[in-house]
Amino acid sequence: MRLKTIKIKNFRGYRLETAINLNDLTAFVGINDAGKSTILEALEIFFNNNVVKIERDDLNVDAKIAGENTIEITCVFTNLPSQLIIDAASPTTLSNEHLLNVNGELEIKKIFPCTAASPKEQVYIVANHPTSPNGQDLLMLKRQELRERANEIGVPIGNYNGNLNSSLRDAIWNHIGNLNVAITEIQVDKEDTKKAWDYISKWMPQFALFKSDRESNDGDKEVTDPMKIAINLALSELQQELTGIQQKVMEKAIDVASRTLAKLQEMNPALANELTPNFKSDPKWAGLFSLTLSSDKNIPINKRGSGVRRLIVLNFFRAEAERRRSSNNSQAIIYAFEEPENSQHPNHQKMLIDAFKELADANNTQVMLTTHNPALAGLINEPDLRFVSTDLTGSVVVLDQPQNILRTIANTLGMLPEPLKPKLLICVEGPHDIRFLNTISALINENRPDLPDISNDTRVAIFPLGGGTLKDWVTHDYLKSLEIPQFHLYDLDDIANPPYQPARNIVRAKGGNNWAELTNKREIENYLHPNAINAVYGFNIAFGEMDDVPELVAMNQHINSPGANPWATLEDDKKKKKISAAKKRLNTDVVQQMTWEYLQLSDPNGDIISWMEMIRDRIT
């Protein structure tokens, strides 16, 4: 499951319901006390209620004055489980049970009545659910009640299995016909809704919050939290083995009880007819493991400086990024980090942001962070930024409009300060171009040390403009307020009528250290060598300077798949998804297979080298 949106109402500074859309990487930027950390802490309460526990005083002051006494935290999820287990013998789906909202998403609302010092959650699924008589309350009915309802409204017995609640509900809804579906809040602590919630809960992403305000003690959370996450992830990946162990323990216990009963009956048959072990709860595996870390000379990590402790967390994220990128079946997880710039050297801050980007690009992984440092905002792609502020009434406002957000951040927080202010902004069309240039520049730097490795050079920052909005970026010069020279690189796309040539000319006309180039080939992927593609995909492919390489790779991969339908018969949406996946892999895995020799062969005119020379000349 992937978290798409969080909605907050009556929680601290969030009076009215505020919906915040989330990406794989989301950075909340704003001045101190604007409400950034509140978002992460609301998520911690929703998922865990552990690192941060909800309190009665978290109720918004104005809500309290207005006589309201409930806090609401709602999460909307996509990438949902394909089936829902309510009746073990007959899996159903969230859609069949009418548990999805109007957009086909799973929307879970937790309400916290603030009448006690420690409010207890009430869980609801907000769904486009039947409201017609006899159809609106089926999830609340027991099996016998469902049978009675089916009989009352005349559902033929042959239309359902009377031993399966899901079959009974489906038959009743089909018999009613017009269900008058409407948005409904369904409490999930009764009957089959409770079973549904228990199953859904197992699919929920793990949420790990790293707070900036911490104590230096033996249980320093900066050190222990990553280890706890590692333990929880390991346990989730070993769930099948642990279930087997649990089953064997239960079998052994039952065997002991059986043998005890046999001996008891030998002594006196009237004493007992059965002895049944009752397991009150599942084992808490995570509680069995307690880890501490020590460094050189066995010095406990919590005795080192705060910067060192934060570096451990930094490298935890770097290691996790590498591990999760190579794993296709990792459990969904959300990492949330408050103010990663704290106690960090500027170079380490950039490394941490790069690790966050790489981690967010991994499977089933989302990353969120907060900062009031405009320099960090400048290192993050603009679509991933959220600007948090308050309006004249004191209500929190979260801005996520790509065309205005950087300017707003710059105007509110100030210009990017030294030493993190880059000397040059490299502007490209999208994140795939960033991955390509980072990797290829590192390769070039190994053989041409005079040219920059832009993947870790703090003198540059790469910024994606987005192909669809690039014209607006260039025409209105949204980055002007940052007062940093720009080097733009766009795909040629069409040799007869290059779509980005007008934008290139505008940038060049600005003068100074500003410059723009078009690729001499169709797009950046045309600079890859076929041998690098073969090393990843396992098939040979030939292409020219103006061929659509991602499409050719996607088509060849599809054709080479066992039992695949002809490429031409695929729907356009499926083709686009396959092409998009190929483009991503070309700019991550394939580009890493490039060598200096391959680069000489695939770029004999030295286009990429010339770009790197232009960049070098603008930062030295």
- Residue-by-residue DSSP string for 307-318: HHHHHHHHHHHH
Query: Residues 51-65: pLDDT tens digits?
Result: 889 999 999 999 999
Query: Which of 33-47, 171-185, 195-209, 504-518 shows the lowest mean pLDDT across its residues?
Result: 195-209
Q: Is the pLDDT of residue 221 over 70?
A: no
> Three-state DSSP class for 338?
strand
pLDDT at 419: 45
**Better-scored residue on pLDDT, 391 or 279:** 391
Mean pLDDT for 195-208 is 85
pLDDT at 418: 46
Alpha carbon 547 to its chain's center? 33
Give, for 65, the enclosing helix (H) or strand (E).
helix 61-65
Burial of 469 (0-12, 13-18, 19+ CB in 10 A): middle
Long-range CB pairs of 288-292, under 8 A, 24+ apart, other chains included: 289/231, 291/224, 291/227, 291/231, 292/218, 292/223, 292/224
Query: Which of 267-271, 363-367, 505-509, 565-569 shows the lowest mean pLDDT across its residues?
Result: 267-271
Mean pLDDT for 302-324 is 61
Q: What percent of the chain has pLDDT over 90?
A: 47
Burial of 570 (0-12, 13-18, 19+ CB in 10 A): middle
Q: Is the pLDDT of residue 493 over 80?
A: yes
By residue count, the chain amounts to 620
Gap between the Cα atoms of 275 and 129, Å rounded:
45
Query: Residues 247-305: pLDDT tens digits?
Result: 788 777 777 767 776 766 676 666 556 656 666 666 666 665 555 555 555 545 555 55
Gap between the Cα atoms of 26 and 405, Å rounded:
13
**Better-scored residue on pLDDT, 577 or 495:** 495
* Crossing angle of helices 346-360 and 306-325, rounded to 10°: 30
**Better-scored residue on pLDDT, 550 or 343:** 550
pLDDT at 417: 45
> Three-state DSSP class for 457?
coil
Query: Which of 27-36, 306-315, 387-396, 582-591 shows the lowest mean pLDDT across its residues?
Result: 306-315
pLDDT at 410: 63
Query: Which of 154-163, 252-261, 319-328, 529-538 shows the lowest mean pLDDT across its residues?
Result: 319-328
**Better-scored residue on pLDDT, 200 or 450:** 450
pLDDT-derived band at 453, boundaries 50, 70, 90:
very high
Choose the most confident range, by mean pLDDT, from 165-179, 219-233, 327-341.
165-179
Q: Is the pLDDT of residue 606 over 70?
A: yes
Q: Is the pLDDT of residue 447 over 50?
A: yes
pLDDT at 206: 84
Apex 522 CA angle, 516 and 524, nearest 5: 65
pLDDT at 324: 60
Gap between the Cα atoms of 452 and 460, Å rounded:
9
Q: Token pair for residue 333?
A: 């997880």
pLDDT at 364: 83
pLDDT at 245: 80
Nearest alpha-carbon partner for 335 in 487, 469, 212, 229:
229
pLDDT at 287: 60
Query: Residues 159-191: pLDDT tens digits?
Result: 999 988 889 999 999 999 999 999 999 998 776
Gap between the Cα atoms of 496 and 493, Å rounded:
9
pLDDT at 222: 42
| Residue located via tokens 């320099």 | 375
pLDDT at 144: 92
Mean pLDDT for 405-430 is 69
String of DSSP letters for 179-200 = ---EEEEEESSSHHHHHHHHHH
Give, for 261, the enclosing helix (H) or strand (E).
helix 239-267
| Per-chain mean pLDDT for the chain | 83
Mean pLDDT for 186-209 is 83
Q: Token pair for residue 544?
A: 């020219």
pLDDT-derived band at 220, boundaries 50, 70, 90:
very low
Query: Residues 338-362: pLDDT tens digits?
Result: 887 765 566 667 777 777 887 788 7
What are the Cα distances from residue 493, in Å, to 132, 215, 467, 496, 525? 55, 55, 11, 9, 11
pLDDT-derived band at 416, boundaries 50, 70, 90:
very low
Q: Is the pLDDT of residue 1 over 80?
A: yes
Mean pLDDT for 228-234 is 65
**Better-scored residue on pLDDT, 616 or 51:** 616
Q: Is the pLDDT of residue 555 over 70?
A: yes
pLDDT-derived band at 224, boundaries 50, 70, 90:
very low
